[in-house]
Amino acid sequence: MIHKAMIVTPLLVLSLAACGSNADKPEASSSSTSAAPAATSVSDAAATPTAQKPSEAELRQAVVAYSDAFLDAKPTVGYELFSARCKERVTLSEFTGMLMAAKQMYGKAMPIKSFEAQMSGDLARVTYTYDVPALNQTKEPWVREGGKWKQDDC
C-alpha cells in the first residue's frame, strides 16, 4: 500500500502539471507565436454560444470536455483530447494513472468559473478557473489538429 502511495503522489503532481498550469513559467517562454493574439474573456454567467466566435466556442467546448474527462477519470475520452505531440510523450496508461489520482483527490468534474482564450490561428493559450484554486489553469496551450482543439500541455 505504501508503494502505491509513493507512485500515486508523484503522479498527482505530474497530473496537475500535465493539466496545464503555467503560472511559474516566464511570460516570454509561454508564447509560441510572434504575433500577439487577441484576448477574450468570458465568464460562465455571461457566456452564450451566439456571443462567441465559432472557433472560440469550439475551444471552450473542448476545454470543458477535457476538464470533465480529467476530473471524472475518463482516460480514453481525455486522451482523445490530447494533441499528437502529447500522445507521443505520455502513454494512455500513464495518463490513466494521472486521472485516477485526480479523481481520488477532487472527486468529480467541476464547473469552470471563468474562461479566457488568447487565440492565434490554430494555437491558443487558455486560462480558466474553478472553485478549487489548485485546479486553475493559466495559459494552458491548445492546438487545433484536424479541425479539432486538442490540449497540448504535456
DSSP per-residue codes, 25-83: S-HHHH--SSS-PEEEEEETTT--GGGS-HHHHHHHHHHHHHHHHHHTT-HHHHHHTB-
Quick: pLDDT tens for 40-68: 444 444 444 444 455 899 999 999 999 99
Quick: pLDDT tens for 109-131: 999 999 999 999 999 999 999 99
Distance CA 121, CA 148 (A): 12
Question: Grid coordinates in use for 121?
Answer: 490561428
Segment among 35-39, 120-124, 130-134 with least mean pLDDT = 35-39
Work out the mean pLDDT of the chain and round it to a whole number.
77
Residue with cell 476545454: 63
Are the beta carbons of 141 and 20 closer than 8 angstroms? yes
